[in-house]
Amino acid sequence: MSMIRQRGSVGGERSAEAELEGKIHELVRRDSNAGRQTDGESEAATRNLADLLRRVSANSTGEIDALISELRLLREKLLADSQRLERDVVDYASLSQSVIEMTKIITDSMLQVKKLPSAAMLTP
């Protein structure tokens, strides 16, 4: 369920990323169209670009970290389920072996009963 929630929120983050990318493109266009810029303007544009890139990478890093955490949880669940299934298979094999042994005992007992003289012959 958390995957569904996370993916639902990705749409909002993508629009923010798209907005940031648009701003980056705008800064690059302004920088290329400006021709000669003063050092102060160039440094301001560089700072703005660095800030935008930092925000975009922070969003991406956050998404990746969330996915890694979720994958770790899924891995732990899969390991626990596999251990439970292994125990269940061992229990089933043990139960099956017990049923086979009980069936042999019952079969042997029935053979012994057949070998006994019939009740009609025993009555005087």
| Residue whose tokens read 């057949």 | 114
122 lies in a domain?
A: no
123 lies in a domain?
A: no
11 lies in a domain?
A: yes
16 lies in a domain?
A: yes
Number of domains forming the structure of the chain: 1
Under-70 pLDDT residues of the chain:
1-14, 31-40, 118-124
Can you say how many angstroms the Cα of residue 94 is from the centroid of all Cα atoms in its chain?
32
- What does R_g of the chain's alpha carbons equal in angstroms? 38
124 lies in a domain?
A: no
Alpha-carbon distance of 124 to 116, in angstroms, equals 17
14 lies in a domain?
A: yes
Single pTM value for the model: 0.47
Sign, CA dihedral 77-80-82-88, equals: negative
- What is the predicted pLDDT for the residue at 101? 97
Pair 80, 41: CB distance under 8 Å: no
**Parent domain of 102:** 2-117
- What is the predicted pLDDT for the residue at 121? 58
State whether residue 1 is helix, strand or coil: coil
- What is the predicted pLDDT for the residue at 78? 98
Alpha-carbon distance of 80 to 74, in angstroms, equals 10
The pair of three-digit structure tokens given for residue 115, joined into one six-digit string:
């070998």
106 lies in a domain?
A: yes
The pair of three-digit structure tokens given for residue 88, joined into one six-digit string:
């269940």
